[in-house]
Amino acid sequence: MIVRPAVASDVAELADLAALTFPLACPPGSTAADQRAFIADVLSPERFESYLADPDRAVLVATDPTASSAPVLVGYTMLVFSPPTDPDVRAALTLAPSAELSKCYVHPDHHGAGVAHALMAESLEVARRREAVAMWLGVNQQNTRARAFYERSGFTVVGTKHFTVGTRIEDDYVLERPL
């Protein structure tokens, strides 16, 4: 497995991976229609093009070079280096400047294979190089698998916030860890 910065030629595959993995992290009450609306609005190829062009973001991808003649994306993360705009997040965070781990997803066929750990390690390193002293993220309160991974990665709950998926407002924990 290789973790590297995403490039423009990854955009279509990134959007496909995001569309596959995002619903897996949604709470049981979210509808397929709300998930599709979120994917169309936030995880489209056009949005990934804009994320890659944004100097306040870093998108990392994990590839499996053995999967076929061309490496296949098996996971991705997105970091945001601008200050949080959500007042609940700003009130919860204790360290600054911080990087937001906005996205961290792994293809379900590669769960348990170390992909998430490799992506996390490189994401933390990128944040350090960008002079962040901490990293934060939001995770749905019902997503126990993700919460357990983040806690094993050194994050602790510091607050709560809301997250909109389509027409539905979800409850998230805000987690933070020093770098």
Long-range contacts, 167-171 (Cβ 8 Å, 24+): 167/34, 167/37, 168/29, 168/30, 168/31, 168/34, 170/26, 170/27, 170/30, 170/140, 170/141, 171/140, 171/141
Question: Which residues does residue 60 pair with via DSSP β-bridges, in sequence order?
Answer: 5, 77
pLDDT in tens, 89-108: 999 999 999 999 999 999 99
Per-residue model confidence (pLDDT) at position 170: 82
Residue 58 gets the label, from left (phi > 0), alpha (psi -120 to 50) or beta, of beta
CATH number of the domain that residue 16 is part of = 3.40.630.30
> Does the structure show a pLDDT above 90 at 148?
yes
Kindly report the pTM of this predicted structure: 0.94
Which domain range does residue 139 map to? 2-178
> Does the structure show a pLDDT above 80 at 57?
yes
- What mean pLDDT do residues 17-23 have? 95
Domain tally, the chain: 1
